[in-house]
Amino acid sequence: MTPAELLHRLQKRSIPPQDFLEEFTRLSDGSELEARTYAPGELTLYRTKELEKEALPTTVQDLSYPPRDKSELQRANLENEQVFYGSIQMDAALSEGRVSAGDRIVVSRWKNAKELSVRAIPTEPSSDTERIYNLLYTDLDTSIYPYSAAVAHRLFKTHPMLGLLYPSRRDEAENENVALTARATDEILALEDATLCEVTKAKTDSYEVKELNVAVPDGDSLKWLGTTV
């Protein structure tokens, strides 16, 4: 099967995910994604969490990747596989979180405490192999998830400390998202702060929030200051 034929079958979802993974692994062997490396403190990531029953998060882990039993199939993780998703721009994080006006959310801000390396999905693909990568991580139809998660799983299994950088297609400014394994998150990321917000405006690529409270990490716990800073 040629890359063009595999791309066509992926577009039509006419190949089972495992068969696709095996064929794509063969076709993409030796075709490396662009590598990017961020020095300590160079990368800032935003992540949103919708409040449940008005209860504020009490630990840093509450704002990080979900428990294994709550890890559903997503863009870069299989079911029960813990992956941290963050966005390089706050608007992209709000867009990815599918927030609506009136929602009360917590926006957490993270930095890489150590050097972080990622593989970047091409935004302007020039070959059929790159077009496959791009489709896997930009298609808004969630039926792509079994395919994109399988490819991410293979990457993370081989390189658990290597992140995956891909375009945010829910954000028209075309900002970028990062996916990290639980291990990489624990060893590389550090929480800077978290802000309790009320979403006052939520339109495509245009958001406004009202800041209500801010928390800073206190060891593994969160210390809510009762005010914004």
Assess if residue 229 is contained within a domain.
Answer: no
Please determine, for residue 28, whether its predicted confidence score (pLDDT) is greater than 90.
no
Which residues make beta-bridge pairs with 198?
Answer: 104, 210
Assess if residue 204 is contained within a domain.
Answer: yes
Least confident of 19-33, 98-112, 154-168, 176-190: 19-33
DSSP string, 141-205: SGGGHHHHHHHHHHHHHH-TT-EEEEE-TTSTT--EEEEEEHHHHHHHEEEEEEEEEEEEEEETT
Please determine, for residue 172, whether its predicted confidence score (pLDDT) is greater than 70.
no
Full residue range of the structural domain in which residue 205 is found:
35-125+141-224
Hey, what are 36's tokens? 């990017």
CB 128 within 8 A of CB 4: yes
Assess if residue 30 is contained within a domain.
Answer: no
Pairing of strands 176-181, 116-120: unpaired
Helix, strand or coil, per DSSP, at residue 37: strand
Angle at Cα 10 formed by Cα 28 and Cα 173, nearest 5°? 85
Whole-model pTM? 0.91
Assess if residue 173 is contained within a domain.
Answer: yes
Q: Label residue 171 by pLDDT band (50, 70, 90).
A: very low
pLDDT in tens, 99-147: 888 889 999 999 999 999 999 999 889 999 999 999 999 999 999 999 9
> So what's the pLDDT on residue 169?
66
Residue 29 zone, left/alpha/beta (φ > 0; ψ -120 to 50; rest)? beta
- The domain tally of the chain equals 1
Pairing of strands 116-120, 163-167: parallel
CB 193 within 8 A of CB 107: no
Q: Label residue 16 by pLDDT band (50, 70, 90).
A: very high
Assess if residue 194 is contained within a domain.
Answer: yes
> What is the percent of the chain with per-residue pLDDT over 90, rounded to a whole number?
74
> So what's the pLDDT on residue 168?
80
Please determine, for residue 189, whether its predicted confidence score (pLDDT) is greater than 70.
yes
Assess if residue 134 is contained within a domain.
Answer: no
Q: Which amino acid is at 214?
A: V
> So what's the pLDDT on residue 30?
63
Helices 3-12, 128-138: axis angle to 10 degrees equals 20
